């Protein structure tokens, strides 16, 4: 009985996502910060990066590889991406249909307001160790209901305009009452190391095309360079220099695939001074040259 109810609920989510997913990949909806995603066939394991978000899958499934960890999130789970950490992702489409899901950006301002309104003093019960930057959680009835109401809202322009932010607020509220509440609360603990690293990552993403050094990023986090380096690597599994390089390469891939720019143009746009260095590092990371990527 319970399995049948969940299958019916998933079918409802699929019916609401399918008309919005007009093509494969991420598709922006009428509500800023909310995208639907679709994959018509299996997608091999490859590098990826998500902005801080909740990713709910209604059909099919994904595997995320982050360091030694493997996270599965499919129709019965959702992913919490607390920090924009590069990882590898593999996608599996269902035998009878495409992989379908919805991604909801985490609004840190709204999250902070909710934590205060709920009386959850940031940091009061957060464990001493650094929270995981990426976790999966069970898609229970409460979360499933929120997602369904959000998707129904997207099909009604007036409701989307009037109630859209309320639907997002409800979704974050339910997540804050879920099993992964600690990592969400850690994002808004202003004196916590996790939130400070999140602030430095926001600065890095806004200025990744510019020359950056550890001292600049550490000042954004209000830490010494050595302390920042330690906590940055603990949170992202990469050094700041490694992270910047991967972010530039991932942004370059998006430009090559989405805008059809030349290799030299892309290299310059993402912050490389040398096109040959860019091509070497691109091929080392993606196992194909930027020229091959552009041609494909």
Give per-residue pLDDT as tens, 241-280.
999 999 999 999 999 988 778 899 999 999 999 999 999 9
Pick the CATH number of 242-295 from 3.40.800.10, 1.10.3720.10, 1.10.10.60, 1.20.950.20: 1.10.10.60
Would you state the pLDDT for residue 292? Answer: 85
The pLDDT of residue 5 is above 60 = no
The pLDDT of residue 222 is above 80 = yes
Question: 261-270 long-range CB contacts below 8 Å, 24 or more apart?
Answer: 261/294, 262/294, 263/290, 263/291, 263/294, 266/290, 269/209, 270/208, 270/209
Pick the CATH number of 2-186 from 2.60.120.280, 3.40.190.10, 2.60.120.680, 3.30.110.70: 2.60.120.280
Would you state the pLDDT for residue 108? Answer: 92
The pLDDT of residue 123 is above 80 = no
Would you state the pLDDT for residue 130? Answer: 64
CB 122 within 8 A of CB 192: yes
- Quote the pTM value: 0.87
pLDDT bucket at 8, cuts 50 / 70 / 90: low
Convert the pLDDT of each residue in 124-178 to its tens digit. 544 445 678 899 998 999 999 999 999 999 999 999 999 999 999 999 999 999 8
Q: Given its phi and psi angles, is residue 147 left (phi above 0), alpha (psi -120 to 50 degrees) or beta?
A: alpha
Convert the pLDDT of each residue in 17-35 to its tens digit. 999 999 999 999 999 999 9
* Ranges of each domain in the chain: 2-186, 193-238, 242-295
The pLDDT of residue 290 is above 70 = yes
Would you state the pLDDT for residue 3? Answer: 46
Segment 99-112 mean pLDDT = 95
pLDDT bucket at 193, cuts 50 / 70 / 90: confident
């Amino acid at each position: 009985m319970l399995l049948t109810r969940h299958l019916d609920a998933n079918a409802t989510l699929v019916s609401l996502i399918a008309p919005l997913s007009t093509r494969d990949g991420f598709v922006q909806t009428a509500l800023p910060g909310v995208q639907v995603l679709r994959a018509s066939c299996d997608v091999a394991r490859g590098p990826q990066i998500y902005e801080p978000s909740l990713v709910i899958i209604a059909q099919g499934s994904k595997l995320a590889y982050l360091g030694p960890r493997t996270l599965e999130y499919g129709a019965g789970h959702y992913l919490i991406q607390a920090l924009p950490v590069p990882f590898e992702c593999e996608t599996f489409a269902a035998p009878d249909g495409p992989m379908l899901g919805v991604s909801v950006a985490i609004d840190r301002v709204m999250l902070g307001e909710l934590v205060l309104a709920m009386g959850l003093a940031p940091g009061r019960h957060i464990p001493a160790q650094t929270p995981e930057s990426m976790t999966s959680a069970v898609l229970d009835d409460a979360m499933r209901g929120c997602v369904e109401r959000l998707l129904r809202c997207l099909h009604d322009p007036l409701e989307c305009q009037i109630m859209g932010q309320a639907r997002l607020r409800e979704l974050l509220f339910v997540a804050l009452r879920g099993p992964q509440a600690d990592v969400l609360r850690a994002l808004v603990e202003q004196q916590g190391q996790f939130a400070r690293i999140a602030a430095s990552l926001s600065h890095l993403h806004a200025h990744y095309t510019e020359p950056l050094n550890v001292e600049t990023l550490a000042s954004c986090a209000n830490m010494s360079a050595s302390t920042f380096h330690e906590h940055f690597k603990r949170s992202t599994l990469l050094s700041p220099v490694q992270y910047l390089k991967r972010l530039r390469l991932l942004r370059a891939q998006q430009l090559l695939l989405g805008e059809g720019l030349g290799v030299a143009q892309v290299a310059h746009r993402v912050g490389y001074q040398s096109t040959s260095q860019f091509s070497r590092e691109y091929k080392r990371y993606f196992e194909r040259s930027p020229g091959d990527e552009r041609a494909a």
